């Protein structure tokens, strides 16, 4: 089971998604909470839905960039954060919210 952050189309089908495993989730959320990154903090419950409206995505990207600097350049966490930043860019470009999908 994995948490997915996704952009949905008008029929609620994922256009693009990024999968976040349990271990990756724990590391990212823990580090985000240490730094009081409130938008990323919405992801703290792995099994609960979250939604980021389009107007919140620039702030979410800033938090992702801030957090990325904590991890070594070639780490799995940093690569995941780069993927999350990329999906934020696409969500902004398409003016779609970013939502979590939980199994």
Half-sphere exposure in the Cβ direction for 63 (13 Å, CA): 23
| Average pLDDT, integer, range 82-100 | 97
* Predicted pLDDT at 103: 65
Tell me what pLDDT residue 78 has: 95
Q: Is the pLDDT of residue 1 over 80?
A: no
3-state SS assignment for residue 9: coil
Distant-in-sequence, close-in-space partners of 75: CB < 8 Å, separation ≥ 6 = none
Residue with the larger pLDDT of the pair 31 and 2: 31
Mean pLDDT in residue range 94-102 = 94
pLDDT at 62: 97
In this prediction, residues 4-18 reach a mean pLDDT of 95
Residue 102 is predicted with a pLDDT of 81
Strands (E), the chain: 3-8, 14-20, 51-52, 98-101
Write down all domains in the chain, each with its CATH number in brackets.
3-101 (3.40.1760.20)
pLDDT for 19-72, tens place per residue? Answer: 999 999 999 999 999 999 999 999 999 988 899 999 999 999 999 999 999 999
pTM: 0.93
């Amino acid at each position: 089971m994995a948490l997915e952050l996704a952009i949905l189309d008008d029929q609620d089908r994922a256009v693009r998604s990024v999968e976040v495993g349990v271990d990756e989730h724990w590391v990212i959320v823990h580090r985000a909470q240490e730094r009081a990154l409130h938008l990323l903090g919405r992801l703290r419950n792995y099994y609960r839905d979250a939604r980021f409206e389009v107007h919140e995505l620039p702030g979410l990207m800033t938090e992702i960039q801030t957090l990325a600097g904590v991890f070594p350049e070639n780490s799995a966490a940093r690569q995941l954060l780069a993927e999350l930043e990329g999906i934020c860019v696409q969500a902004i470009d398409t003016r779609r919210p970013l939502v979590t999908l939980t199994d």
